[in-house]
Amino acid sequence: MSLKLAMLGFIDMMPMSGYDLKKYFDSSVQFYWAATHSQIYRTLREMEQENLLTVEIINQTEFPNKKVYQITDKGKQTLTKWIMQSPELPPVRHKLLVQLSWSDRLKTEDIIKLLEAYSEQIQNRLDIYNSAQQTSIAELGRTKRERLLWRALQDNGITAYNAELDWARRTIEKLKKH
Amino acid sequence: MSLKLAMLGFIDMMPMSGYDLKKYFDSSVQFYWAATHSQIYRTLREMEQENLLTVEIINQTEFPNKKVYQITDKGKQTLTKWIMQSPELPPVRHKLLVQLSWSDRLKTEDIIKLLEAYSEQIQNRLDIYNSAQQTSIAELGRTKRERLLWRALQDNGITAYNAELDWARRTIEKLKKH
DNA sequence: ATATACTAGTACACATGTATACTAGTTAAT
DNA sequence: ATTAACTAGTATACATGTGTACTAGTATAT
């Protein structure tokens, strides 16, 4: 449902192809709702069958032909309905925590190495979030309030990853003191 | 893989049935790696075929018969290998953020209601994390260091949800000032 | 007396996500 | 001259996760 929601939102901004959608996903929502191209093309076909979208085949000479999807009235109504759905807690799938659960069989230094490697990954992600490019995406919002919202989405990632980084450092300290 | 890792870890503590496993999942790892009973029973069969586990059917008179699974040597080796795997960033599937992405079509008060409903969910989750029951689970660790680790897992959840709660409140304030 | 919850599983169907291979022309780089 | 990257999609297999129905006996509650 959320994949369809995200896709509908983009297509509502502007009619576009699956190929375009994939690029928009990768440059914006990727960090809180990633999608592969297989998923996107499959879901476009589904949404067309559900009459949320209509297709038009655009013939191109220099490039392969493309299918441009447009949102229908039913699609717009569905979009609004989904946006207002009561929010749920994001499901967590935290592999590192599972690893740590059973890591008592490792040497303390190896547990610390796990946490340090993890911290590095987080730091890389934070670097991307703080990059000028990410910031400028939020400024593409169509209204002042939409820009405020998009900045809040970016803030969410930065806040969450900073908390995670703090936690990793605290945990490393506790292991060292132990 | 992580499901198998989590299951192997439990069975390595003590031979047990799928039914037992489900209960352990629900009372401990559930918040960072949830599993349904369908998934657990299916995966037990797979792991037996891969020679990570052996089964023994225990006949019971007052209850249905049960299948008790035990870890093999290969299972123990695999467990250690998986624990040491280089950590990855947890994939994020944050539906609320997708909703907020396209929420500019709502009234500001309705966006705030979304964020408030979300905060409530987080608060509920935090209450569970802070409950005496959750705390005592960490104290069941078999060694001092394992207890330290299990407390760190609990700390991870508390830290992450507090950060999320702070973010939601900040975002509500920004929307109100707007 | 009846309904509910617990124990312990099997069997499916379906939804969602991932990974690759394939086609096929165009442009840019080494 | 050849390789790589870009555009735009199809096809398919597989992995993972969710939901529900079914069996069947025991214990507890109303």
Please spell the DSSP secondary structure of A32-97, one letter per residue.
Answer: TB---HHHHHHHHHHHHHTTSEEEEEE--SSS--EEEEEE-HHHHHHHHHHHTSPP-PPP-B-HHH
pLDDT of B136 above 90: no
Q: What is the pLDDT of residues A49-59, one digit of tens each?
A: 999 999 999 99
**Residue-level pLDDT at A132:** 77
How are beta strands A53-58 and A66-71 bridged, if at all?
antiparallel
- Confirm if B178 and A145 have CB atoms less than 8 A apart: yes
Q: Give the 3-state secondary structure of residue B64.
A: coil
What's B87's DSSP letter?
P
Distance from CA of B29 to the nearest CA of A (A): 8
- pLDDT bin (cut points 50, 70, 90) of residue A48 is very high
Q: Which two tokens stand for residue A166?
A: 């703090």
Query: Mean per-residue pLDDT for A30-51?
Result: 98
Interface test with B, best of A96, A119, A177 (most B CBs within 10 A): A96
Do B32 and B157 touch, CB atoms closer than 8 A?
Answer: yes
B148: pLDDT strictly greater than 80: yes
Q: Which residues pair with A93 in a beta bridge?
A: B33
Q: What is the pLDDT of residue B23?
A: 97
Helix ranges, B16-93 (H): 18-27, 37-49, 73-84
Domain A2-83 has CATH 2.40.50.180: no
Residue A50 CB partners (closer than 8 Å, separation 6+)? none
Length A38 CA → C19 C1' (Å) = 10
Residue A15 DSSP label: -
CB-based contact B121 A29, cutoff 8 Å: no
Query: Which residues in chain B touch residue A142, judged by CB atoms under 8 angstroms apart?
Result: 104
- Characterize the bridge pairing of strands B53-58 and A66-71: unpaired
CATH number given to B2-84: 1.10.10.10
pLDDT tens column, A95-109: 999 999 999 999 999
Query: Is B154:B134 a contact under the CB 8 Å cutoff?
Result: yes
Q: How many CB atoms lie within 10 A of CB A73?
A: 9
- CA-closest candidate to residue B138, choices B128, B153, B124: B153
pLDDT tens for each residue of A110-148: 999 999 999 999 999 999 999 977 888 999 999 999 999
Nearest by CB to B160, from A6, A87, A160: name it.
A160
Residue-range domain boundaries for chain A: 2-83, 95-177
Instruction: State pLDDT tens for residues B23-54.
Output: 999 999 999 999 999 999 999 999 999 999 99
| pLDDT at residue A87 tops 80 | yes
pLDDT at residue B6 is higher than 80? yes
- The Cα of A165 is separated from the nearest Cα of chain B by a number of Å equal to 10
pLDDT at site B10: 98
pLDDT value at position B147?
Answer: 98
**Residue A117 neighbours by CB under 8 Å, 6+ apart:** B86, B87
Taking an 8 Å cut-off on Cβ atoms, the answer to whether B33 and A167 are in contact is no
Chain A CB contacts of B108 under 8 Å are: 145
Q: Is pLDDT at B135 greater than 90 in this prediction?
A: no
Which spans in chain B are helix H? 2-13, 18-27, 37-49, 73-84, 95-101, 108-130, 132-138, 144-177
